[in-house]
Amino acid sequence: MKQTIKEVDVQGKRVLMRVDFNVPIRDGEITDDRRIQMALPTIQTVLERGGKVTLMSHLGRPSGNGYEAEFSLKPVAVRLSELLNEDVSFDESSDKAVVLRENLRFDSREKAGDEAFGASLAEGCDIYCNDAFGTAHRNHASMVAVPQQMEGKPRVAGLLLEKELKYLDESIRNAEPPFVAVLGGAKVSDKLGAIERLIGTVDSIVIGGAMAYTLLAAQGVHIGNSLVEEELIAQSKEMLEVAGAKGTTIHLPFDHVCAPEIAAESAAVVESGDIPDGLMGLDIGPETTSAFADICERAKTIVWNGPMGVFECPAFSKGTKGVANAIGNATEKGAVSIVGGGDSAAAIAQFGLETKMTHISTGGGASLQMLEGKEFLSVSLLDDTV
């Protein structure tokens, strides 16, 4: 277990805190402030105990060649001031209780993991706190070089990072059966590592989304114009055989909501078994949705990463919604449900089911890599609990 910010004395100290304020901004206005809201408990525990915080984050994907107005964290500073009811300084040299640095990625040394840049960020700070799970899998300067430069000083986890590690590591390692993994999304290549690690660990893996069609093709099913990764068909066939040998059942769609293209006006039809040429599978069909939902409702531990179809389009959203509702129902009956970030979290929000899940991760890529069993250098550098 990693030491947390609550376990260290912050009185009169300045805490350098890496947060994930990579929020969507349109026309200078934040459209979703959940990532800011989720960092508040860690910030507040420092302020309440007489400490000061210097916050650092990235926003978007600037070039790294200097200031770019559209990627400025200024709107975040304004919103954070409102939420904390505290003046948030945007001046790095300020000694105010809360300071927010400008977007780290304006400097190319951040993504390069530059040691000198890390040392400059750490200057004048007494404690390092990592509360940015969303970027924990990246060896950027603020995640790795800074704690390396602050060796000998407290280096701790924030409360959000602590929660992520608890659910994505401990809860999975100590999962109560039946243990079900629900995987979806566009490409099987994105989830291959997770599937291979989960085989033999979980009781069932239910797979939807476009990634299912590469696996169906490996079984000899005709998939029409559906997305397929031809180069992975042979490996997928072998993986399905290994799963059977290790006692993990992989469930694939057997009916599909299809259309000629991904468009709201496309006429959606349900096809069972083979998909005719000219059509592509864009959601799991009603029978598959019912079967997947039944598997989820009987589970005691559920990990979900990736939608079952193009849920943003109403015509292709029913599969994802049906599975999400089933996971919510299982949670209400005592199951532990862990939802990966990214599209899965967006789907949960779209369907208004946030309160029905045990834990919704803030990191899509990070949560997936943790499912794959990868260790994060940024986490390993933090102090262990004494």
3-state secondary structure of 15: strand
pLDDT at residue 264 above 80?
A: no
Structural domains in the chain (count)? 2
Show which of 130, 160, 190 is a domain's final residue. 160
Does residue 84 contact residue 55 with C-beta atoms inside 8 Å?
Answer: no
The residues facing 180 across adjacent strands are: 204, 302
Burial 305-338 (b: 16+ CB within 10 A, else e): bbbbbbbebebbbbbbbbbbbbbbebbeeebbbb
Which residue carries 């059977």 as its tokens? 244
Q: How far apart are CA 18 and CA 143, in angstroms?
A: 7
Does residue 316 contact residue 310 with C-beta atoms inside 8 Å?
Answer: yes
Both 146 and 178 in one domain: the answer is: no
Stated length of the chain: 386
CA dihedral 54, 60, 66, 72 (to 10 degrees): -60
Q: What is the pLDDT of residue 338?
A: 93
Both 144 and 273 in one domain: the answer is: no
Mean pLDDT of 130-140: 94
Both 77 and 132 in one domain: the answer is: yes
Both 173 and 83 in one domain: the answer is: no
Q: What is the pLDDT of residue 173?
A: 84
> What is the per-residue pLDDT across 140-163, written as a single tens digit (0 to 9) for each?
999 999 999 999 999 999 999 999
Q: What is the pLDDT of residue 372?
A: 82
User: Which secondary structure element, helix H or strand E, spans residue 42, and what is its range?
Assistant: helix 34-48
The rounded Cα 45 to chain-centroid distance in angstroms is 24
Classify residue 14: in a domain, yes or no.
yes
pLDDT at residue 48 above 90?
A: yes
Q: What is the pLDDT of residue 64?
A: 96
pLDDT at residue 364 above 90?
A: no
Which residue carries 């079952």 as its tokens? 308
pLDDT band per the 50, 70, 90 thresholds, residue 342: confident
Show which of 160, 180, 210 is a domain's final residue. 160
List the one residue out of 319, 140, 136 whose CA is nearest residue 212: 319
Q: What is the pLDDT of residue 171?
A: 81
Q: What is the pLDDT of residue 374?
A: 83
Q: How far apart are CA 38 and CA 43, in angstroms?
A: 10
pLDDT band per the 50, 70, 90 thresholds, residue 365: confident
Q: What angle do CA 138, 199, 318 make, to 5 degrees?
A: 80
Q: What angle do CA 61, 92, 7 make, to 5 degrees?
A: 90
Both 205 and 154 in one domain: the answer is: no
Q: What is the pLDDT of residue 154?
A: 98
Mean pLDDT of 257-265: 88
Mean pLDDT of 48-60: 98
Q: Of residues 212 and 166, which shows the higher confidence score? A: 212
pLDDT at residue 363 above 90?
A: no
pLDDT band per the 50, 70, 90 thresholds, residue 86: very high
Does residue 198 contact residue 368 with C-beta atoms inside 8 Å?
Answer: no
Q: What is the CATH number of the domain that holds 329?
A: 3.40.50.1260
List the one residue out of 373, 366, 304 whose CA is nearest residue 132: 366
Domain that residue 187 falls in: 167-371
Within 8 A by CB and 6+ apart from 230, the residues are none
Mean pLDDT of the chain: 94
Q: How far is CA 80 from CA 52, 61, 88, 337, in A?
A: 15, 21, 7, 30
**Burial zone of 366 (CB within 10 Å; 0-12 exposed, 13-18 middle, 19+ buried):** buried
Q: How far apart are CA 42 and CA 19, in angstroms?
A: 10
Show which of 113, 131, 160 is a domain's final residue. 160
Phi, psi of 382 (to 5 degrees): -75, 155
Least confident of 109-118, 236-245, 338-347, 377-386: 338-347
Classify residue 74: in a domain, yes or no.
yes
Both 109 and 204 in one domain: the answer is: no
The residues assigned a catalytic role are: 35, 187, 342, 365
Classify residue 380: in a domain, yes or no.
no
Mean pLDDT of 198-207: 95
pLDDT at residue 29 above 80?
A: yes
